[in-house]
Structure 1
Amino acid sequence: MTQPLRLVFAGTPEFAVPHLHACRRDGVEIAAVYTQPDRPAGRGRKLTPSAVKQAALEAGLTVEQPENFREAVARERLAAFAPDLIVVVAYGLILSKKVLAIPRLGCWNVHASLLPRWRGAAPIQRALLAGDRETGICLMQMEAGLDTGPVLLRRALPIAPDDTGGTLHDRLARLGAQLLGEGLEEVLHGAALPPSAQAEQGATYAHKLDKAEARLDWNESALALERKVRAFDPWPVAEGDVAGETLRVWKARDPGPGSRGSAPPGTLLAATRAGIDIACGDGVLRILELQRAGGRRITAADYLNARPELKQTAATAHGP
């Protein structure tokens, strides 16, 4: 291309930051960066800029923060940047047909799943909760539907047995930035990315996370609870009642077939340096790292140093 590719980037959280960096390359001119308005955060509820805004300002880029694009003035402001392409990564706003029609090359979206599986707001955590063995990244041409547009590029990523919401987030962010970079290079060299329509068969929706989901119900299977613990790390963090105390559970595993006898779900079966075993509806969940109210994240062994009586309680509950 003789003229630079004029691009507007739209994103908000940390996941989008590597993608913004991927757009900063030879042949690309970032006309503006759109992100959500500053929101209250932290204990003081101080207005805090998004991760994308901070990265954009550090790079000396123009930042725009409209509440939405319902008003014509907001759409006119966007059109005034005359973008060839708009790249959207976890922006947090639904873009109308009027907005999607502004750039001559349309709008691209980077989505953290293998579409059509896990369309929607929380694809990373939903994949973990479902026990999926792989996920990935799709570079998609946006249309009016929610994550329904044709896929331009896709790349699969295996889910490791110990992946958490946090580790999978970081690996997908890196992969997404790489795939976006590849797509931009194709366009810069005059190639067209062939769109592949999504199949409706196999489509699933990744609902937004709710803090209430993070409660551990010991009537569920140990496998399902282990997936919850991994999926909700680092937010909202799983929590459950253990020996009369509500704890945040950061790390736990299903040790596989084990004896829980006739103990009802929620019974403390064992409390050793290896972990704290809780009877579940099916199997046993071993808690490895936890956090008490107002405390910090600690190992099960450190927790038992503060509550040595649990070792005897577990031995009594488990029987001889």
Structure 2
Amino acid sequence: MNNHDQKRYSIGSSAFSAVPPEPALYLVATPIGNLSDITLRALEVLAGTDIVACEDTRVTRVLLERYGIQQRLTAYHEHNAEQAGPRLLAALEEGKSIALVSDAGTPLVSDPGLRLVQAVQEKGVRVVPIPGPSAVLAALTASGLPTDAFLFAGFLPAKAGQRRSRLEALAATPATLVFFESPRRLADSLKAMAETLGARQAVVARELTKVFEEIRRGSLSDLAAHYASAGAPKGEVVVCIGPPDAAAPDVKDTDRLLLALSEEMSASKAAGEAARMTGGKKSDLYRRLLTLRAEGEK
């Protein structure tokens, strides 16, 4: 029993307690923006565990202070994981309870928590998920794109060639694709997506659950043009891309078709003929042909 044993908290008509949970590593999902999205169970765990491990203690402190929780915080992030991980593991083996949180959303989604979870499981210590907010699911469900099958692909590589290769590898995936992206790379990534994946419908979700939340829908090429013109947006960004049309030709087949047609006619006519044959958008195919030609000259 620790100093939180009998402490109780109230939020309007709801209440939660700080009774210490059983020794385990608790993966606690926290709000991605709006602090009211925290669950009562998450608050109980955050208030009751012996240690709260977080990416940035300043960020987590804001959440805890909102609900009047005084807790011991320790930093655990990609830069100190090798040092902090063993200390947390030792505390768990001593019978302590630890809550692991990211700065926002569900832990282990694009953060270093996986290494800690794997080490904890190898020691036979329980790992308990405390579900809640997720930028991936928030964007996907609001996108209007198919949700029966989806693939979260994290961040694309920063280098253009590696980014294109990654997109080509994902092109035939029969599912909605979900990416995180940095605001400053958004326009370039959308352009690469349009050139590689073709005329697919997509959604850019920005600042989800926050005051300036934006969910913009359109084709990949239209979204690329918008952000190229508007400049880098502010805030966290999630990009959702619809699955390929089952009847659509393979991307590599389309590339071969474009190059073959361009040997017999101008780029504009080749793009138009390819659009007629594949059902694609002429402007997208024209840009793709120019890219293929440029790559061939390197």
TM-score normalised to structure 1 length: 0.30
TM-score, normalised to structure 2, is 0.32
Greater fraction strand = 1
